Amino acid sequence: MKRISKPLASIILLVMMALSMASILYYIPLAKAQTRPTLVIGLPDLPANGFNPLNYKMVYTQVIADAMFEPLVRIRWDGNGYIPNLAASWETKDNGKVWIFHLIHNATWHDGKPVTADDVVYTYQLIKKYQALQGGREDFVKKLVAVKKLDEYTVEFDFSSPPVNAMVVFSGVYIVPKHIWETLSDPTAPLPWSKLIGCGPFMYKSSSPTSVILVAYDKHFRGAPEPKELQFVKVSQFVAKLAAGEIDAGYFVTYKASDVKELAELAKEGKVVLYKTLGSSTHMLIFNMEKPPMNFLAFRMAVAFAINVTKIIEKYYGNLALPGNQALLNPKGYNWTLYIPKEKIYPCNKTLAREILIKALGLKPGPNGLLLGPDGKPIHVKILAKQHDVFCRDLIAKDIAADLRSIGIDAEAYIVPASQFGSVYNARQWDMVIVGWFLPDLKERYGKPPVVTFGEFTTGSDANVPKFSNATYDKLYQEFKTAVENKEWNKAYKLAWEMQMILVEQIPAVSLYHPYVVTAARIDKYKDWVFGINLMLNYYSYVGASKFGLKGPAKFHELSGQYLLSKVHMPTPEEMKILKDWVINHLVSWGVLPKATFTTTSMPTTTTPQHTTTSPSSPTTTTTTTTPSPTTPTTTPSQGVNPALIAGIIIVIIIIIAAVAIYAKKK
């Protein structure tokens, strides 16, 4: 056998070494990419003892529930329509009175049992049976005649008339396992963690008073989620924890200039990605109109005149909040929203506010500047707010209490811990409360007819927090619903604006501001975040952007206030005159101020530019949908060229050239 020459052997050895090095360089990043991270999510509070996915009160619970449970369909990450979920496809018949959902066949509960039509039917029958599970779904439940199983993976919903908020419900109700829930004594009560068996991408592992840990359910119908574990921890110092790398993201929004500046610096360093958009909420001071003196219009008007909204925004939010719309609808309602900042109709005027209390309500001056009621005692009111509130509403409650004391009301900021807030709030142990009111309709799509939202102010609605009641408003609402159902858009818009003018006049709440949402997530170990239409913490981030054909971190709808104000309906001069005359007539009838004095000193004309839009031909989305299986993404993200492979090839070429040179020299 002929021996290989030493130069040739050297060449072969060098080539083999080069190929080995290239292989190592190629597979190291692949191994790193295949390492599934554990994400630490910061929450202001936790449902430490479990929760009910059909009936939870704390908003932070939804962050956890969304990772464990699945609805029939999901709102797209960008808010533009819906994607399949437990339902692979759906269609409507009989002009929207019949809905049929075709379920996927590969969804399983965390205990391994299949998700079938029986579970869907059982879930909606529970909602139909128990009023406690119907919050925000009253119209849907009222019209639901029957929900029935057509076969193992097909469900039919029959309605007496088309429900106007059907997709909001279908995308918001988590399906629960019949074989677990039929053993419960009370399906409206919170469930212990051991009973919380879902079919979502994560399942329960362990919990403590300060943490809840979920582990990936790799048999999920979309495939194994990108993270291997979610650790939800209770935190109060979000920015500091994020900067230190102790958490990766959180259900947290901040408006403080110092926080925003620090997050911006972290973003410049490539450690976090920022998301900023105007939120979907209206933060307001709501009156408990079941109790005196909050049931008197004159009292509510005096409070409105006493509060300096401009000062509140400047103090706590800088330029990161819009003045609150006294018509209460968020600007994201687009042309349905009649935008009238409180200061345009009830400008801060404490002298006037005190005069209203004295002349309209007959209160008498007493010691220390306080006003006395008929019993000779000061008018004492409590303003409820949550302690350590991320929106600074506890601090704002103290400022408003000081404003009210300055006009003679003995006001107290009633600050309670987050763990107690829900029980105090539900028991209505308050005179006024500062909360953020989210428009239910905006969960589906911006600019959608706000049928559910307006319904929350009708007499007797369970969602009517102030217990506001106005016969004219109720009548207009019924006409509005009919106009929407008949797609009479011009009429519907006019009715919507008329209803909002009643809310401006009757003041069931004082609108304070619409805050921007500013949050961040670390991207040093996980980049598959999806920034949705409201907050980053959502289902798409948990599962992973790449599973939906997105390249994370993906952003959608960074809406500025200026953009939104170009979409809303600004009041016409005629509408403003109606409102101002209404206020003036009441003040004159109460003997508070002469009309001329009030007009010139207290009612400045609006300087907000007018905006007129043409009513769209159809602001609603189609209800008949056939969609591909959710197990297969519609697009595949580009993987690009591996730089390590290129480097390896270059090294191989260099070594081969060197080896050839050595061989030539030997020859």
- Residue-wise pLDDT for 552-571, tens only, equals 888 765 666 777 888 899 99
Q: Comparing 642 with 271, which gets the higher pLDDT? A: 271
Q: Over 70: is that where the pLDDT of 633 sits?
A: no
Alpha carbon of 269 to those of 243, 246, 274: distances in Å?
11, 17, 12
**pLDDT value of position 32:** 41
**pLDDT value of position 647:** 55
Strand partners, 191: 51
Please report where in the chains the tokens 């900021």 appear, as a residue: 413
Of the ranges 8-12, 160-164, 553-557, which one carries the lowest mean pLDDT score? 8-12
Count the neighbouring beta carbons within 10 Å of the beta carbon of residue 167.
Answer: 24
Alpha carbon of 464 to those of 136, 327, 437: distances in Å?
10, 15, 11
The rounded distance, in Å, linking the Cα atoms of 537 and 253 is: 11
| 249-250/38-43 β-pairing | parallel
- Residue 332 pLDDT level (bands cut at 50, 70, 90): confident
Q: Give pLDDT tens digits for 21-74.
A: 555 444 444 444 458 999 999 998 898 789 999 988 777 898 899 999 999 999
Q: What is the average pLDDT across 387-393? A: 86
**What residue type is assigned to position 183 of the chain?**
T
Q: What is the average pLDDT across 300-312? A: 96
The tokens for 282 are: 């209206």
- Residue 236 pLDDT level (bands cut at 50, 70, 90): confident
Q: Over 80: is that where the pLDDT of 5 sits?
A: no
Mean pLDDT score across all residues of the chain: 84
Helix, strand and coil in the chain, % to nearest 5: 40, 20, 40
Q: What is the average pLDDT across 318-341? A: 90
**pLDDT value of position 558:** 62
Q: Are 62 and 48 in contact (CB under 8 A)?
A: no
- CA pseudo-torsion sign 513, 60, 86, 230: positive
Q: Which helix (H) or strand (E) holds 315?
A: helix 309-316
Q: Over 90: is that where the pLDDT of 532 sits?
A: no
| 371-372/364-365 β-pairing | antiparallel
Q: Give pLDDT tens digits for 600-615.
A: 344 433 333 333 333 3
Give the pTM: 0.58
**pLDDT value of position 393:** 92
Please report where in the chains the tokens 């101002």 appear, as a residue: 580
